[in-house]
A and B are shown apart, each in its own frame.
Chain A
Amino acid sequence: MTPRAFWKQVGWVFAKDLRVEVRGGVTLRMATPFAALALLLAPLATGADTALLRRIGPGMLWLVVILFGMTVTLRSGNESGPVRDLLTLCGLDPAAGFLGRSLAGAVLLLGVTLVLVPLMIVLYAPEGSPGWGWLALLAIAGVMALGLLGSLVATLVTGLRARTSLGPLLAIPPAVPVLLATARGTDSALSQRGSLSWLLLLVAMNLALVIVGVLLAGPMDETTR
């Protein structure tokens, strides 16, 4: 397959997954409102301790994005067996499928994050002006890592009966470095400090996940039929 044909397939899967998601509405109707509620309820539970809220705000934001985001990204591998067969017989390269699903998952998570970041700033760290450039870069690198991770785990558990419970269990441990990097990086950005080291960690994780995912996509697709 030529590189052009490969990237055309990536684009096809990306557009198809976004379309299915928009029609199904899981992100819009379920994940985003519940994630926003979780962010809203935590200050009520801890009380009006602004110093504490300022400290936990970035961690709460990304914890909520990761946990509710998993319900979105792990869904990407939930296509029925006949649809998987159809895509294989249409000539879909599993690696292209993996990248397209990851990108679609990342875009959906970015949407969730865009709703939650202002909410977090208002509720947890109302003073000062954050470094918006750093926040944007961290958010993009963070959701991309989560999209790749969710798509990779979804590929690994495809066809397993216990995939609904196994998926989050497999996805959460490797998501811990993403949580650390995004939370600490966001904390730095809120203090107008640079977040380069955390951003580089996220970029390295993205590269590693792309390599592992692309290499595993084909063999996993064959063995999970």
Chain B
Amino acid sequence: MPGNGGSASGHPGASFYTPRVADQALVRLADVGFATSGSVILRGVDLTIAAGEILGISGPNGAGKTTLLRLLATLLRPTSGRGTVLGTDTGARPQELAPVRRQIALIGHSPALWPDLTLRENVDLPAGLRHGPADDDPLGAVGLAGVARLKAAHASLGMQRRVEFARLLTWTPRLLLLDEPHAGLDEAAGPLVNHLVTRVTDRDGAVVMVSHDRNRAGSLVTRRLAVAAGTVLEAPA
């Protein structure tokens, strides 16, 4: 927030963006911006994320948080500045980005499910594409074993979220990007989110979590940033 650390704009390598947990940078963005249809969504983002870090991001609606996550996922390309994600330039050709993308998981605020397929199929299908079917029962681990044959379209938002978490139990991403992971979830699901996050950081990965719910996300986060009007700012811990 302004006054709580200063703007990141125009300060590549500013000290408050130096990783505090480990020195192996998984993400480096230098003066990165993103604009679309003539409007600037993000500007001057300088950001380094190290292995083991759990970054909490907050900010008002429309500030650019989701765009930042999609840039980190390499699903969007910066329109200005430069960056690397998992060692590969964000402007690289799709063929070069493909191996990087396979190490990234993004859980957005809208669940990525096929509504006509069952919850089990929604777990098994992406697993089949990524690495082959899961050996264990990830749906059981997220409390959905009894409704595995339910169509995703008929599941509640909380159940759909759990399906996405179940997918994360079939592999471990290097970079986990979560957009409002607690949205629609009951209190009992909190430990599940914590488990997924620590699974990633325990294996030298990093997690970026957009959340308005500081109480639920707060205990895990090792560093906080705020996004305001397209700029990324240091936020108080």
Question: Which residues in A have some Cβ–Cβ distance to B below 8 Å?
Answer: 1, 9, 12, 16, 19-20, 23-24, 79-83, 85-94, 218, 221-222, 225
Contact = CB atoms under 8 A, between A and B. Distances in A.
Given A80-B110, A93-B98, A218-B94, A86 B116 contact: no
Given A23-B117, A87-B126, 17 more contacts: A16-B125, A24-B116, A79-B114, A82-B108, A83-B112, A85-B75, A85-B106, A85-B108, A85-B112, A86-B106, A90-B130, A91-B102, A91-B129, A92-B129, A218-B94, A222-B94, A225-B70
Interface string B93-109: 01000110110111010
15 contacts: A1-B98, A9-B129, A12-B129, A20-B116, A23-B116, A82-B112, A82-B113, A83-B114, A85-B75, A92-B129, A221-B94, A222-B77, A225-B70, A225-B75, A225-B76
Contact of B102 (A20, A23, A89): A89
B216 interface: no
A12 B112 CA distance: 17
Nearest to A12: B129
A130 to B, nearest CB: 37
Contacts of A91: 98-99, 101-102, 129-130
A10 B197 CA distance: 32
B236 interface: no
Name the prevailing secondary structure of the A interface residues.
helix
Interface residues of B, number: 28
A220 to B, nearest CB: 11
Nearest to A26: B116
Contacts of B108: 82, 85
A81 B70 CA distance: 12
A105 B77 CA distance: 31
Given A19-B121, A89-B105, A81 B126 contact: no
Nearest to B179: A82
B117 A90 contact: no
A90 B102 contact: yes
A80 B111 CA distance: 10
Nearest to A83: B112
B110 A82 contact: yes
Contact of B112 (A9, A80, A221): A80
B73 interface: yes
